Amino acid sequence: MFAAHYPTATRTAVPRRTSFISLIAQMLRVRSQRIALSNLDAAALADLGVTRAEALKEANRPFWDLPNVR
């Protein structure tokens, strides 16, 4: 309603709040991806440019430790 009165350059992005259910769903997706990463063979890891040690380090992170990717 009032946004039309302010120039575009002064608006700042307001981060969206994530619902509890979508947060849990994201945690489960990340957990699944980490399990899949830990099960990759040496050739697949080489294709990704990831060492076995790096893959296991990522796979062993707790499920609530989400990456800061937006």
29-60 pLDDT, tens digit each:
999 999 999 999 999 999 999 999 999 999 99
Locate tokens 């259910």: which residue? 21
Residue 5 in this model has a pLDDT that exceeds 70: no
Q: Is residue 19 part of a domain?
A: no
Give the domain extent around 55.
24-62
8 A C-beta contact, residue 64 and residue 27: yes
DSSP 6: S
CA dihedral 43, 65, 33, 42 (to 10 degrees): 10
Contact 43, 52 (CB under 8 A): no
Maximum Cα–Cα distance for the chain, whole Å? Answer: 58
Residue 68 binned pLDDT confidence (cut-offs 50, 70, 90) = confident
Q: Is 0.75 surpassed by the pTM of this model?
A: no
Structural domain tally of the chain? 1
Domain assignment present for 1: no
